[in-house]
Amino acid sequence: MAEPSSPAPPRGTAAAPPRPRGSGSRHAWLIAALIVAFMLVNYADKSVLGLAAVPIMDELDISNSTYGLISSSFALLFSLSGLIVGFVSARISSRVLLFTMAALWAVAQLPVLFVASVPALVAGRVLLGAAEGPAASMSMHALYKWFPADRRGLPSALQIGGAALGTLVAAPVVTGLITAFGWRSAFLVLALVSLAWALVWWRVGHDGPYGETRTAASPGGGRRLPYRHLLLNGTVLGSIAGAFGASWALALSHAWLPAYLRNELGMTPGGAATLISLISAFSLVLLLSVPPLLDVLRRRGVPGRRSTGVPQGVAVGVAGLAMTALPLAEARGAHLVLLAVAFGGHAIVFPLHYMTSSAVVPPLQRGAVFGIVAATGTLPGLIAPYVTGRLLDSAASESAGYRHAYLLSGAVMLVCGLIALLTIRPERDARRLGPGTARPDDDAGPTDAGSRRPGAEVGPPDAGSRRPGAVAGPPDARRPGADAEPGRPGPGSQAGGSKPLAQ
């Protein structure tokens, strides 16, 4: 093992990757703060249509089904763009990707400022969905480049916490803009905010030291595994199921919760905004407390199934039970508590499903797999708003329509939670996939037992991975610490001792 303080690495070990510009813990947390702001703007952009739903429907005289179609159009290209960008993320830097997304968010808010019509709303939402499809997965991918595997719980929670902050801040601010200056003003302000973030990111956003470094120390040493093996293992499938259930509640919240609070519960615009902010605050508390605690459990050796898999299944299942119970609650207080659990209790699934997916995926393929997981896990954004609108229009009353929508949503979430609970087993699936997969405990550290420091980029090389010009060691060269007897190959060498075995 090469020590970081050595003047030169021993023969046969891979050199540590060069430190990128701005590398360091302080800059890592600056990147984390910018990504939190990125997600805040992302969810503010996403939620503006729901917050402006009542005045837009009144002004344009559109039905629930038409509004549901407008809301669902956001997801038309959402999953596809997330999938495509995930595959190109290994070739394009996170700096360029996130800058482009934020700039497109600004452009997407403009059509309704010129022509307030259903086609203009649809065009803007389709473009916004295409630009936001890769946002969560690619910002998480960018964040992972700045933190080692066993230190990602809090940064991941903060990234998803930006989404909760987006709703927490957007609900009162956007509602205030709509009330004071009309619903178009909210679209204009969000366009300017998106553009401002893009300019700041272009200045300081760079890739970190835990990226896709093609060294022997990287899991698999740059080797790629067939995507069918990566995507069809239980951990990734369970992560997708958990994200699907949580995304169903999230899509329903963005599209219909503001209208439900005003039309069914008789709340004022300010009262509805306050309750939505409180639900977001509840989500934020969960995000800032649960994932860091699970990080501690991982560092203490608790298996990934118990530290990250079970919490996902339980969170989606409990939120689904609350959603199912909503139509049965008559007391006002109980109804509000169930709303908070149904629409806020699933929040921890979003950082955790990225963590469980990354535990069985080589870093070189992490961006692509994140894109696929996000694309399939967020399909409810295309389905839930439109289905809910149809249920509202076809039911005998609007109250009956909401009851049917909540029962359907609860059933979907319960099934997804059960799948996640039963299938997420990172250690088992990493073993089945074999060499080349990320270890659940660390995807970028040295492999000598007992000497690993978080994020170290050193380890035994495989054939062909030595630095240019490196001289091969003598035939009996062994790794430091190998207890081989004379004439017998050590545990880190092949018979004859010609080269170390690749791990």
d(CA 199, CA 183): 26
d(CA 45, CA 50): 10
Assign 356 to helix, strand or coil: helix
Residue type, 164: A
Measured at the alpha carbon of residue 229, what is the angle toward residues 155 and 453, in degrees to the nearest 5? 35
Residue range 416-429, pLDDT digits in tens: 999 999 999 988 88
Strand partners for 493: 500
What is residue 405's predicted lDDT score, i.e. its pLDDT? Answer: 95
CATH code of 174's domain: 1.20.1250.20
CA dihedral 189, 192, 196, 202 (to 10 degrees): 140
Residue type, 482: A
Residue range 158-180, pLDDT digits in tens: 887 787 777 778 788 888 999 89
> Is 402 in contact with 264 (CB distance < 8 Å)?
yes
Residue 301: inside a domain: yes
Residue 386: inside a domain: yes
Helix axes 380-394 and 64-73, enclosed angle (nearest 10): 180
What is residue 24's predicted lDDT score, i.e. its pLDDT? Answer: 54
Residue range 265-311, pLDDT digits in tens: 889 888 888 898 899 889 888 888 888 888 788 788 888 888 888 99
Residue 482: inside a domain: no
Residue range 363-380, pLDDT digits in tens: 778 778 887 887 787 788
What is residue 493's predicted lDDT score, i.e. its pLDDT? Answer: 40
Of 115-124, 219-228, 296-305, 352-361, the range with the highest mean pLDDT is: 115-124
What is residue 23's predicted lDDT score, i.e. its pLDDT? Answer: 45
Residue range 58-70, pLDDT digits in tens: 899 988 889 888 9
> Is 410 in contact with 338 (CB distance < 8 Å)?
no
pLDDT at 404 over 90: yes
d(CA 422, CA 313): 8
Show the domain range for 309: 25-209+225-433
d(CA 177, CA 396): 35
Residue range 234-276, pLDDT digits in tens: 899 999 999 999 999 988 988 899 889 988 888 988 888 889 8
> Is 377 in contact with 240 (CB distance < 8 Å)?
yes
pLDDT at 218 over 70: no
Number of domains in the chain: 1
User: Shortest CA distance to 134 belongs to which of 375, 377, 383?
Assistant: 375
Residue 488: inside a domain: no
> Is 424 in contact with 96 (CB distance < 8 Å)?
no
Residue 190: inside a domain: yes
Residue 20: inside a domain: no
Cα–Cα separations (whole angstroms), residue 182 to 125, 275, 287, 323: 19, 21, 33, 32
Spatial neighbors of 134 by CB under 8 A, at least 6 apart, are 81, 82, 85, 86, 89, 97, 101, 371, 374
pLDDT at 224 over 80: no
Residue 4: inside a domain: no
What is residue 450's predicted lDDT score, i.e. its pLDDT? Answer: 38
Residue 476: inside a domain: no
> Is 272 in contact with 261 (CB distance < 8 Å)?
yes
